[in-house]
Structure 1
Amino acid sequence: MRALPLALLLALVSLPAAAQVRSVELRTPRAFGYFQGDLVQVQAEIRTDPGFTLQRSSLPKPGPVTYWLDLRDVRTEESRGADGAHVIRLRLTYQDFYVALDARTLEVPGFPVTVENAGANGSTTAVAQLPAWKIGVSPLREVQPERRDDPAEYLRPDGRAPRLDLQPALASAAGFLALAVLALLLLAYDRAWWIFRSRRGRPFALALKALRRAKRRSQGEALYREALLALHRGLDATDGRRVLADDLPDFLGRHPALRGQARGLERFFSASRLAFFGRDTAGAGTTLPLPEAEALLRRLGAVERSA
């Protein structure tokens, strides 16, 4: 009679632990039709009481499971179920190495995992046992195939690949090539490249190119004088006549797009007068330094392109 109260006490103590893991369910895409080398996917869903989480250290490590089966990958996902339960999903990937001579069923071993509820007064653990499950394996070839004289006849012939029509791809490539050439020609026209280098209407662009060539062969005062001459030639070619300092107001009247550069052009003519008539190249360089002269020419070219 004394054993009965003790048994009841043990039963009451074990009830909460049993209730901590509510259910364990396995799902597989299929249970048969596996060949040597195939990957076998299985999803285990463990439902526990709220507050429990998976102890990742209790998960199996990738590696051999049996002589014919390897565990390749283990992935976990935890969420909350609609009924309030904590849901743990294990996504397991096995690889089958069984060399089957006939169709047969093999058992994949199960394993336990531990769940834990860490509270303020300590942690509570419970074990969820994943049951063993079975897969059907099939042979890659017949045990005794029909005898053939030529060993090559044991292999199935290669399938015939459909012929691809290359005409649409070639037409698309030709169209894109034509668009690329057209875009390149438009860019060359805008930048005065190649055959458009000497066209009329872009004298400042040509003057800037001349200055860049001069920078490779000259320096010092000679380079500065060539920069001033390049600006003079650009102004003369733009107006179709010689443009001197006194002609600047009329020049800007005939070319209103360049009025924004009036201040720079005035400094240019002052520097030109000092360099060519006053023989004071150093003073001219102070009035309009070479970098500013080149920048002025670049701005004039930009206005020229946008006009």
Structure 2
Amino acid sequence: MAETLTLTCLKPGGGAYVVDGGRPGHRAIGVPTGGPADGRAMAEANRLLGRNPNATCLETTITGGRWLLSGSGQLAITGSDMTWRLNGRVLETYSVLYHEGDGLLTSLPARKGLRSYLAINGHWQLPHALGSAETGLPGIPRVAAGWSVDIRWDVAAGYQTDLDVYQHLPDEAFVLPVIPGPEWNWLNKQQQAKLLSYDFRVGNRSNRQGIRLEHPDFKAMGLPSMISSPVMPGTVQLTPEGPILLGPDAQTVGGYPRVLLVENPKELAVAFQVGIAQHIRLK
């Protein structure tokens, strides 16, 4: 017999987003790819519940906010350490959890990492556009206070747990492997070496569109202007204020030089777990 667990937003915290496999294949018509900022952590939450790696989840940033759970179902939480609690009881992360009745789901600010993933077993009853329930297209509301979704399920997942709860979180002073981008040679050798010598700080204006990399000694390198050209997640654009590492909600074209590209998508996922004011070095 099918059952339902309803998730209702009371407060979205530092930023809450519905994420799934996104909308790949539509960048030519101006639609960002989307998807989770950390696909590894989302896939693990879904794996624990026996779901498709790209099944719909909730991504929260910096702090998880406040949510009402009503009904019966199973959930799993992965990613950042936000000390999630249900009715005041601290929850295990990277484990299949069971819930029945009404419950208040809350968190503290992230102690390690930046983004957390909440998977709930079953089918999320949400509107879709171009195959995705993520915001960004007409008809799909943003997650805000009062937003709600019913998750209907038929088959319960068996209990699973993973003791390595920090497996998707970055080390301090994270080093991001990169390769030359299309405009890398616009920099002279000295400028190239300088750019790769900085320990950049993650700026507080960073979001899913891009990580703003800041350093007090960075100076504009006087590169020429360019016609807006295609960009994608993992592109490092060099602006007069410093580099921007583009993420899942990145625009499809940009007018700043594309000096570097992230070598491995998994490393890009790690970068989007680096906390505000923490450090990233490009290598």
Q: Same fold, TM exceeding 0.5? A: no
> Higher helix proportion, which one?
1
Larger-Rg structure: 1
Q: TM-score, normalised by structure 1?
A: 0.17
Q: TM-score, normalised by structure 2?
A: 0.18
> Higher strand proportion, which one?
2
* Larger relative contact order (CA 8 Å, sep ≥ 6): 2
